[in-house]
Structure 1
């Protein structure tokens, strides 16, 4: 993002300037969004403990089936994001190779001339490829966490419904049923 911001509106063609501007805005927003996630990392440990407690409460064939189904949905959703971002990574890392002249994946400013020197070109290219990988990794985290968390929450709500609906069907006392509801 810093290299993109430094070169904003410094290109010869309007198309390059617009491309760089949109990439700069997107990159800056992604970095800010990722920063907000990092600030909340302390809560992730608490969330993991709550989810582990909820997972430990799964009992009975119907709840086990529902829990397995939830885990399968989470795996499929996670794989969908993984394959999508893997394709985006490959496409962004290699699409520039098919151009007729020496170029970089994205317009950017460097304090050296990368068009005439092979060493400088490899340095600029390496920098951009690492930056692209980092950006895609940030986007992966930013985009996959909310739907996965929502799917996990919805699955545990279904499990809670199953647990609550099973209370009172076994021959036990009223107090035992109420204690189970509170738990």
Structure 2
């Protein structure tokens, strides 16, 4: 059982990654000047140039399979770069969310709420470990595929301003750039994709704990009961503010992720059906297409869970001991119930709801793009 309550501790790994990939220029360091130089260098070499060096080789490879792999990699890397840029620009909002979480942590009391908190801790630790393991495996498998290849070939088809094919030193320099670049991009992707999951899970758990506090209202003196109700209403305001701040931070990164997932699903299915004949290549594209919906599923699931728990708060209000309370208590409770009935899902790009239904929307978009390819072929 966790003895210390600190919800913001689950964002610690994200801050470390944002610092390593040069996305935290506003963080106070004793070596601030050196970090700014480091951040500019990393972002120029990786965030900007890595997708561009892949994009420069689009549809100019010797084999169609290399073109398709290059296209999927380009879409994935350019979306990763765009997402980290949005996060870097709005990282001050993460500090504000940490402050709100710290306030909500002070309100956790009783065994029932501690049980919800401890269950949330187990879920988040498992999710963070899964995300981290997937990132490590992807990076390791990329390097292993290079080590065991039979011919001299880059990790990914890309353009370099030097001739790497006829120089061993330049070839390994190109490889070091690609494996270093893709490792940093995978780290960026870890922070960008797991952060919404963690925050939505934290929000959902704190709403459940608020549900317990409201449900237990009505025990004690009239002054104590009304004071506790006012504190619960304040908790609700903090949760709504946390949810709104999270939505504004992840709106465009999640929208980009939806679009990139739909495009890569479409490309993978088209490659598997029309362009690739090798069995292993088809299997590779099949699992890649299968992985895309799974990448956005955790965010959509926990976002839906948070909205559902927001929608249940009025049940907790009716479950408390309100019948024997004063008129002022009932009026405040009634106003709280009216406010709790408004539960809008978070939106990606201000248009697409971050909801489990968004997964089916992404698949529909992929199908629409696929039908467009079919018409072009005809």
Give the structure 2 partner of residue 168 of structure 1: 218
Give the structure 2 partner of residue 78 of structure 1: 128
Give the structure 1 partner of residue 116 of structure 2: 66
Paired with 2:115 and 2:64, the residues of 1 have a C-alpha distance of 57
Map Cα deviations across residues 48-106 of structure 1 (whole Å, 9 max, x no partner): 01101111111122222221121121111111111111111111122122111111211
For residues 52-131 of structure 1, what are the structure 2 equivalents within 5 Å? 52-131=102-181
Paired with 2:103 and 2:163, the residues of 1 have a C-alpha distance of 58
For residues 126-165 of structure 1, what are the structure 2 equivalents within 5 Å? 126-165=176-215
Paired with 1:143 and 1:93, the residues of 2 have a C-alpha distance of 23
Whether 2:266 is the aligned partner of 1:179: answer no
CA contact (8 A) 1:92 1:105 kept: yes
Paired with 2:82 and 2:188, the residues of 1 have a C-alpha distance of 10
Paired with 1:16 and 1:88, the residues of 2 have a C-alpha distance of 19
| Higher RCO (C-alpha under 8 Å, 6+ residues apart) | 1
Moved over 6 A (4+): none
Paired with 1:109 and 1:146, the residues of 2 have a C-alpha distance of 34
Tell me the number of residue pairs that the alignment of Structure 1 and Structure 2 aligns.
Answer: 181
Residue 152 of structure 1, CA deviation? 0.8
Paired with 1:14 and 1:72, the residues of 2 have a C-alpha distance of 45
Map Cα deviations across residues 114-143 of structure 1 (whole Å, 9 max, x no partner): 122111011001000111101111111122
* SS of residue paired to 1:11: coil
Residue 39 of structure 1, CA deviation? 2.3
Residue 149 of structure 1, CA deviation? 1.3
Flag structure 2 segments of 5+ consecutive residues without an equivalent. 1-50, 232-378
Paired with 2:154 and 2:144, the residues of 1 have a C-alpha distance of 10
TM-score under structure 1 length normalisation = 0.92
Whether 2:70 is the aligned partner of 1:13: answer no
Map Cα deviations across residues 121-180 of structure 1 (whole Å, 9 max, x no partner): 1100100011110111111112211211111111111111111122213xx222321111
Cα root mean square deviation, aligned: 1.4
* SS of residue paired to 1:12: coil
Paired with 2:120 and 2:75, the residues of 1 have a C-alpha distance of 36
From 33, 44, 67, give the equivalent of 2:83. Answer: 33
Q: Higher mean Cα deviation, 101-110 or 2-11?
A: 2-11
CA contact (8 A) 1:93 1:132 kept: no
Paired with 1:163 and 1:176, the residues of 2 have a C-alpha distance of 13
